[in-house]
Amino acid sequence: LYDDQRAVAYTSPENHVVTKFDKLNEYRASQGWYGSLTSNIFKILYLTIAYEDMYSDVDSNRSIWGNISLEKSMIPKLNRAEIRYMQKDFKQISKLHFKGENAHIDGVVGYNLSPNTELVLNYSVQYLDVNNNGIIKGEDETITSMSMGVEFRF
């Protein structure tokens, strides 16, 4: 998401780009807390759940994050297999929707082709509330991508 959200281009009154770094002076330092819980389920799956609540005089930012990964030794030559879910900037945890604004799901599977080469499959879903009605519905509010590649380690 960093590449998608790190800068915003404005076309009027003049063409210019505003980065997140440019806007830092507008914000005061925030405080808060972060907690996470990790569990090993039968030495097969690893589950991590995290919650963050950051607040300042002006704003409050809450984020939730989860990760499930498969033990690599379960499948020969498997280097990684995991699914992650993240949602940031929601108002109340009681009103949290799985397909909410700023929710993101991604998964990755890595298979060793050789000691320094890995075949990687990535899958990603991002939800955006384009019409600002508070409901994520339709293809225009769901961005899905899939990629496959080879990673070389030197």
d(CA 92, CA 53): 10
Helices assigned H by DSSP within 1-153: 2-5
Percent of the chain with pLDDT over 90: 43
The mean per-residue pLDDT over the stretch 10-27 comes to: 67
pLDDT tens sequence across 43-93? 899 999 999 988 776 666 888 999 999 998 889 999 999 999 998 877 766
Q: How many other CB atoms sit within 10 Å of the CB of residue 86?
A: 17
Cβ 48 vs Cβ 66: under 8 Å: yes
Strands (E), 29-116: 31-41, 45-55, 60-70, 78-90, 103-114
- At residue 16, the 3 state secondary structure works out as strand
Percent of the chain with pLDDT over 70: 77
b/e code 102-137 from CB counts within 10 Å (16+ = b): bbbbbbbbbbeeeeeebeeeeebbbbebeeeeeebe
pTM score, whole prediction: 0.71
Cβ 82 vs Cβ 106: under 8 Å: no
Q: With bands split at pLDDT 50, 70 and 90, how would you rate the model's confidence at 94?
A: low
The mean per-residue pLDDT over the stretch 95-102 comes to: 76
Amino acid at 105: I
